Structure 1
Amino acid sequence: MLIACFIVFFFVFTHPIVRYFKALTDGLQSIASGDLSYRLPLSRHDELGIVAHNINQMAERLQIQQERERQLEKSKMELITYVSHDLRTPLTSIIGYLDLLKTHTYQSVAEQERYIDNAFNKTQQLKKLIDDLFEYTRLTDGHIQLAIQQVDMNSLLDQMITEFEPVAKEHGITVRTNLLSAPVMLDLDIEKIVRAIDNLLMNAMKFSDRPGTIQVSLDAGAASVTLSIENNGIPISPEQEEQLFERFYKIEPSRNDNQMPSGSGLGLSIAKHIVELHGGRIGLEHRNGHYRFFMDLMISAADRIPSHSDRSDLQ
């Protein structure tokens, strides 16, 4: 009788454990077969429950890793597709113009010069696409090293705008500035931050109303400075706003301009990567066709912070 009672009680107490253990083995088999979305039931709070929790965490990490690998492979294929398309377009034009020149298919010296000029412009566009692609791949490979040095952001901007103004004027754009009167020292990789700012300036020029104005402002806070580049253009949708900093995303320029060809779609993405590598933030505020791209960068420690009253309007 005692033996029978022992067997009954043993079965009653161990049956849930055996059943849960079977659930663990079945779950492990499902995960091992490739179903990384499978999760074990967490109905126990003993050692078996801890084992189930650990198995679920393992499956979740494997699932995340698998998804990352899929996204990486998808990104590689997209990169090849976009690059092939973007490089083929100007290359086809170059081949066409060179073929016309080679076969002397032109009516006058003026037409010959036009073919040469068009071919040259397409080679410049091709070079820009290749440079952007090279820069983008360098910034996203995860092993980029910044050549950091102290830079006066105020002086750097003043120099860049001086070089940018003649180009903007050719396209009917006036540049106005609102910088700071005192130096603002930042720890930056000059070459890369210049590339980021130049991309923002060129983007503003490409999509500005003409005649139009680009406003460049620099403002200092307690621990950071904000560079703002503002212009007016054709309004875009909230969906377009969300995609502006994505690679290869393009919006057609506000006006047809042979001197302002479609870019690579990498300019804003490159700027975003550069700013984030510096620990900063980049973004866009847009309302009814008024665009304000901003860049927040950290001020070097122990440097004086100019007050708002120190601003000067340099035009």
Structure 2
Amino acid sequence: MTRIKLTSKEKSELVIEGIVTIVLLLLLNLAIIVIARQIINESYTLENIIFGVKDVLAKTFFDSSFYSLGTAFMFFLGVIDLAVLFWRLIRRYKQMQLRHIISELHYIANGNYDHRIPFELSGDLGKVVESINGLVDSTVEAIEEERKIEQSKDELITNISHDIRTPLTSIIGYLGLIEDKQYHSEEELLKYTHTAYSKSKQMKVLVDDLFEYTKVRQPSTPIQAIQFDMEQLLDQIAIDFELDAHKKGMSIEVTTHPSPFIMEGDTEKLVRVFNNLISNALKYGKGGKQIILQAEKIGSEAVITIMNDGPTIPENSLSHLFDRFYRVEESRNQETGGTGLGLAIAQSIVVLHGGYIYAKSENHWTSFVMHLPLKQKIDTL
């Protein structure tokens, strides 16, 4: 921060302001003295009172040879003149400061949002400068956030277009072959229709995930919070995935503490979170033998962990797992048919519940850890 430096023109303005003020004050003083003398000379009573006061003061406090009531009056006028001169110069100086501030503000308004008013001022003008700089900072943050949102929308559209175009091209291609009767047997026809059907389902999964993602990303999305037993919920989910886990040579184990585990939340949305996490464990946990669902109560939180002993995730990928369309290996999408939105949806649902989720991969275990409040502050519907 720096102090305002006046230009030569502004300094000249101050000098002229001072000279004009002094001249006006001298003329005013002269007028006051003339009027005062005229009043005193025309009023014998007032003149007698003044001379009486003068004699008393002279005898009591001062030597009459040094004392003059006129001198005291002139001194009084001089003090007032100095106060008026100081006030007018300060007022003009503050007007100049305000002009500098307005000039800086115009410079910022012309698009120079990285600039801040650099003046160090006291009083109200200092507060004005601080407020303007704070407002500019907030505006820049809002603009940057808006840019990120627009960039995020563009990336979302690009990724969706890419992921939809691939199965759509296959569907159009195979249906075109059927339309042109370019098949040699009923078996080949069924193969074409099956492929088109499979690609259609893949597109539907993407559209459904996209719809769910955009819905849970809205802060205004309502939470249908009810009281439920987390232990029963995890047991039911384990049963639902038991057959798929068995096909992949994996087992699902549930442990909770305490038992029963009573908490509040939107069970429909939480089931979506668990389904996404367990589906990922089954898809990417190749070679693993176990999927463990743990829930424990710590203070006012429920800490739920979904872990598997499949291949670990590289350290540099852990912080990006919840980014939409992010995949540790791009080739996995073709192998598993995933949309890349599952973990982003899971994170958004956890955030809606007032919690947070993170991943860690160490000691041959990959874990997704959720912290959820036991009681929801959101009003139940």
Q: Note the alpha carbon deviations across 1:172-208, whole angstroms, 9 max, x for none.
A: 3332332347221221111111111111111111110
Task: State how far apart, in whole Å, the 2-side matches of 1:284 and 1:256 are.
Answer: 20
Q: Is the 8 A contact 1:215 1:230 kept in 2?
A: yes
Deviates more, 1:75-84 or 1:151-160: 75-84
Deviates more, 1:249-258 or 1:230-239: 249-258
Deviation at 1:121, TM superposition (A): 1.7
Change (3 A) 1:293 1:254: farther
Deviates more, 1:14-23 or 1:193-202: 14-23
Change (3 A) 1:123 1:168: farther
The normalised TM-score by structure 1 is 0.84
Task: State how far apart, in whole Å, the 2-side matches of 1:10 and 1:181 are.
Answer: 76
One-letter amino acid of the structure 2 residue matched with residue 264 of structure 1: T
Q: Are residues 1:76 and 2:192 paired?
A: no
Higher relative contact order (CA 8 A, sep 6+): 1
Which residue of the other structure, out of 337, 341, 344, is the alignment partner of 1:269?
Answer: 344
- What does 1:34-183 correspond to in 2, within 5 Å? 34-180=111-257, 182-183=259-260
- What does 1:230-249 correspond to in 2, within 5 Å? 230-249=307-326
Q: C-alpha root-mean-square deviation of aligned residues, in Å?
A: 2.9
Q: Max radius of gyration: which structure?
A: 2
Q: Is the 8 A contact 1:153 1:185 kept in 2?
A: yes
Greater helix fraction, Structure 1 or Structure 2: 2
Task: State how far apart, in whole Å, the 2-side matches of 1:13 and 1:280 are.
Answer: 57
User: Who is 2:360 aligned against?
Assistant: 285
Deviation at 1:105, TM superposition (A): 3.1
Q: Is the 8 A contact 1:185 1:300 kept in 2?
A: no
Q: Look up the SS of the partner of 2:182 in the other structure.
A: coil
Count of residues in correspondence between the two structures = 299
Q: Note the alpha carbon deviations across 1:233-292, whole angstroms, 9 max, x for none.
A: 44443331111111121233897985x22x221110110010111111211111265311
The percentage of counterpart residues that share the same residue type is 36
Task: State how far apart, in whole Å, the 1-side matches of 2:334 and 2:109 are.
Answer: 58
User: Who is 2:102 aligned against?
Assistant: 25
Structure 1 unaligned segments of length 5 or more: list them: 302-315
Structure 2 unaligned segments of length 5 or more: list them: 1-18, 24-80, 377-381
Q: Look up the SS of the partner of 2:319 in the other structure.
A: helix
One-letter amino acid of the structure 2 residue matched with residue 71 of structure 1: K
Task: State how far apart, in whole Å, the 2-side matches of 1:274 and 1:215 are.
Answer: 21
User: Who is 1:250 aligned against?
Assistant: 327
